Structure 1
Amino acid sequence: MSAAVTTPEYPLFDTHCHFDFDAFAAQFADELALACQQGVQRILIPSIGRQNWQRVATLAADYPDHIYYALGYHPYFLASAGLNPLDDLEQALDARSSACVAVGEVGLDAMVDIDAKVQETLLLGQLALAQAAGLPVVLHSRKTHNRLLQLLKQTRFQGGGVLHAFSGSEQQARQFIDLGFKIGVGGGITYPRANKTRRTISALPLEHLVLETDAPDMPLCGYQGHNNHPCRLPLVLNELVLLRKEDKQTVASTVWKNSNLLFSICERIPTEM
């Protein structure tokens, strides 16, 4: 299946959207068409655990021109990971389709009631599986940037990936970049009060940035209280252009290229939507 829209002027890739969540389930084809109409031609759906692995894989199979997915355990949902989570993930990765382009959403979260050692053990195991599968990772980090950097360096993880929803310092961002990671730029930059993040994103090399919404979460400024949606990704692009004071075509084409390169996807946009 595909969404009926013409090729946009600026094709965009939402590299982090929980499009399988209930907020979009009732009219999924219409929700996807709405995103495509705004130029969002590709969407990566990161999973949160075994409970939605099949759902994200099915959506990618149903909409192969637009949907890609990642398999992994989100640190927030580790309580439901089961008795043999790494064995289960290894089996799922062995059976994955070509639309599975990453391991994720994985990482650390200092704000949830899950023991830090448990989180780290699962993260290390998932990094090892990603390395063995030759896949990048989609990293979640909340108040854990420095610890994540330590673990990535200790494990000598070589697969790269994207640091989702980055809100740290420029120094931290550059350390992740040095380890092969892209920096996920989302609705946070649309808030004028997010001075540190806005300064950091404006200073980083453009070739290391990708766009994301985290929909239905992380609403943009002006949309608080509403579910976020991938159709609002162009607003993130617009803000990025303003922050960097660069040509819109240059920014759009570069982040599109960055996203596809990161996930080893051909840049060509399907002509038949």
Structure 2
Amino acid sequence: MQLVDSHCHLDAPRFDPDRGAVLERAAAAGVAALVVPAVTAASWPALRQACALPGPLLRRPAYGLHPMFLAEHRPEHLQALGDWLERERPCAVGECGLDFFVEGLDADVQRRYFLAQLQLARDLGLPVIVHARRALDEVIHTLRRVGGLSGVVHSFSGSQEQARQLWDSGFLLGLGGPVTYPRANRLRTLAARMPLDYLLLETDAPDQPDSAIRGQRNAPERLPVIASVIAGLRGQPLDEVAAQTTRNAQRLFGLPAL
């Protein structure tokens, strides 16, 4: 298999003690590439370094301002992001989006940062990696309003109708550890029935571990577990799911042949 983890926070401090070993284990498990999205402006240099370190796996950075880290963002970071994107030419803008689940995050400020990042992505012709928690309807509306965008809503947890609206807008869905939990009925039904052309695999490591490692640090080596569960739900061979989701990631993010 040549799997692509379309959402892995390789630069997270929890990987500092063994980042190289994490990459080695992922490569041995069949993971060929990682997309590594940013969360704050302060994290961009370390993320770039994590993607440039010697070792296995293709690693591609994405740069953005995550809504959950609102307290760390400043208006001038948006100008800095535009400069950074033009200079670095990453594979995507993100992680950006809206989070109406976490208390204390100003919704209007979130909207301003999200809209500005979408406009940057559109103007630079880059896809977006979108975080949408308790905010999917508004996210879908905003994507349509800006227009001219492509991307993925990562860790998708919405309805079939919301999924269809995203596909109609040309967006893909990222599915990861939550789909492995037997009680995630709606998500598992979606994974079983959705068009494979719109699916990306992800771990969101070190977060969102699959059911077999609940409560532990997640890592990209767990991606084959997610792929296997989805293949089982769909009644398809694992290699078919692996091949198509890899093609989807290559198409969206402009990844080279693996």
- The two structures have a TM-score, normalised by structure 2, of 0.96
C-alpha distance in 2 between matches for 1:265 and 1:43: 10
Residue in structure 2 matched with residue 59 of structure 1 by the alignment: 50
Q: How far 1:80 moved relative to its partner? A: 0.7
Total equivalences in the alignment: 256
Give the direction of change, closer, same or farther, for the CA distance of 1:63–1:172 in structure 2 (3 Å limit).
farther
User: Structure 2: which 5+ residue stretches go unaligned?
Assistant: none
Q: Which structure 2 residues correspond to residues 52-201 of structure 1 after superposition, within 5 A?
A: 52-63=43-54, 65-97=57-89, 100-112=90-102, 113-156=104-147, 158-201=148-191
SS state of the match for residue 70, structure 2?
A: helix
**Structure 2 CA distance for aligned equivalents of residues 176 and 63 of structure 1:** 37
User: Following the alignment from structure 2 to structure 1, what is the Cα–Cα distance between the partners of residues 241 and 81?
Assistant: 36
In structure 1, how many angstroms separate the alpha carbons of the residues matched to 2:58 and 2:21? 13
CA drift at 1:63: 4.4
Aligned pair 1:46/2:37, yes or no? yes
Deviations along 1:210-257, one digit per CA (max 9) or x if unpaired, are: 100000100110211200110000000000100100122211110110
Superposed CA RMSD in Å reads 1.2
- Please say if residues 37 and 61 of structure 2, whose CA atoms lie closer than 8 Å, have aligned partners that are also in contact: yes
**Which residue type is aligned with residue 36 of structure 1?**
A
Q: Secondary structure at the match of 2:213?
A: coil
Return the letter of the residue paired with 1:119: Q
Matched, 1:240 2:230: yes
Which of 225, 249, 255 is the matching residue for 2:215? 225
* Aligned counterparts of 1:182 and 1:155: Cα–Cα separation in 2: 17
Structure 2 distance, partners of 1:63, 1:182, is 30
- TM-score (structure 1 length as normaliser): 0.91
CA shift for structure 1 position 191 = 0.3
Secondary structure class of the residue paired with 2:88? coil
Counting aligned pairs with the same residue, the percent is 38
Q: Within 2, Cα distance between the matches of 1:127 and 1:258? A: 21
1:100-150 deviation per Cα after TM superposition (whole angstroms, max 9, x unaligned): 100000000002211111111110100000111110000000010101111
Task: Tell me whether 65-74 or 237-246 shows the greater mean CA deviation.
Answer: 65-74
Q: Which amino acid aligns with 2:41?
A: R
Query: SS of 2:15's equivalent?
Result: helix
* AA partner of residue 132 (structure 1): D
Task: Give the structure with the higher percent helix.
Answer: 2
